[in-house]
């Protein structure tokens, strides 16, 4: 029985791996199909080359998965997730100031900064967590965030003072 056109096309477009699998279970296939698979493997550089390509693509997949994992981790870091030192759960950041939403942009920036500076951590299962109890990495992350927040606050305050000075100059004229 000859191979029909559809089957031939399918075998011809099969991956190296699929061809290998086909030949490993050759009893399930027509002799013509197996012959075609063998010919294709030979045309593509032989069994060894095919196996090398398969190993190569597996390695690439593994590397890709690894890269994805690293990206995920980075994303988690960017989202500023802090872990509970006791149970490993995600900590909530609660701010003690809890003032109403600010209307102006500068006010919002200042509020965000103050919130960070006065915030504390809270674990759903273990309760409040002191910053000293955080893991060394989280403490470092937290210190960086606090520094950024203080910087933002200073810039806001300086900006407001400058604006007031400028306003004073305009009014006194
Ligand atoms: Zn906890």
Are 134 and 82 within 8 A, CB to CB? yes
164 token code pair: 């007031």
Are 37 and 15 within 8 A, CB to CB? no
* pTM of the entire predicted model: 0.45
- Kindly give the distance from the C-alpha atom of residue 27 to the centroid of ligand 1, in angstroms, as a whole number: 58
Q: Is the pLDDT of residue 7 over 70?
A: yes
Taking residues 10-27, report their average pLDDT: 90
Taking residues 46-70, report their average pLDDT: 89
pLDDT higher for 73 or 89? 89
- Kindly give the distance from the C-alpha atom of residue 127 to the centroid of ligand 1, in angstroms, as a whole number: 7
3-class secondary structure, 54 = helix
Are 116 and 153 within 8 A, CB to CB? no
- Kindly give the distance from the C-alpha atom of residue 77 to the centroid of ligand 1, in angstroms, as a whole number: 19
Neighbours of 150 (CB within 10 A): 13
pLDDT at 113: 82
pLDDT higher for 143 or 109? 143
Of 142, 87, 91, the closest CA to residue 116 belongs to 142
3-class secondary structure, 127 = strand
pLDDT at 111: 81
pLDDT at 72: 82
- Kindly give the distance from the C-alpha atom of residue 83 to the centroid of ligand 1, in angstroms, as a whole number: 8
- Kindly give the distance from the C-alpha atom of residue 81 to the centroid of ligand 1, in angstroms, as a whole number: 13
Q: Tell me: the pLDDT tens digits for 99-112? A: 556 667 777 888 88
pLDDT at 96: 55
**Tokens 């593994």 belong to residue:** 62
Q: Is the pLDDT of residue 2 over 80?
A: no
pLDDT at 114: 82
pLDDT at 155: 92
Q: Are strands 92-95 and 127-129 parallel, antiparallel or unpaired?
A: unpaired
* pLDDT band at 94; cut points 50, 70, 90: confident
Task: Kindly list the protein residues that place their beta carbon closer than 5 angstroms to ligand 1, a single-atom ion.
Answer: 84, 86-87, 89, 123, 125-126
- Kindly give the distance from the C-alpha atom of residue 94 to the centroid of ligand 1, in angstroms, as a whole number: 15
- Kindly give the distance from the C-alpha atom of residue 103 to the centroid of ligand 1, in angstroms, as a whole number: 35
């Amino acid at each position: 029985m000859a191979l029909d056109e559809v089957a031939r096309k399918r075998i011809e477009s099969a991956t190296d791996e699929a061809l290998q699998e086909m030949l490993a279970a050759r009893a399930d296939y027509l002799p013509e199909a197996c012959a075609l698979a063998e010919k294709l493997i030979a045309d593509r550089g032989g069994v060894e080359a095919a196996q090398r390509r398969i190993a190569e693509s597996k390695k690439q997949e593994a590397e890709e998965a690894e890269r994805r994992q690293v990206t995920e981790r980075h994303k988690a870091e960017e989202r500023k997730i802090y872990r509970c030192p006791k149970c490993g759960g995600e900590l909530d950041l609660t701010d003690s100031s809890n003032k109403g939403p600010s209307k102006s942009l500068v006010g919002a920036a200042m509020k965000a900064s103050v919130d960070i500076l006065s915030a504390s951590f809270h674990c759903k299962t273990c309760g409040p967590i002191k910053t000293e109890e955080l893991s060394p990495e989280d403490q470092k992350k937290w210190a960086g965030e606090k520094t950024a927040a203080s910087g933002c606050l200073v810039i806001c305050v300086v900006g407001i003072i400058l604006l007031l000075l400028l306003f004073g100059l305009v009014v006194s004229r």
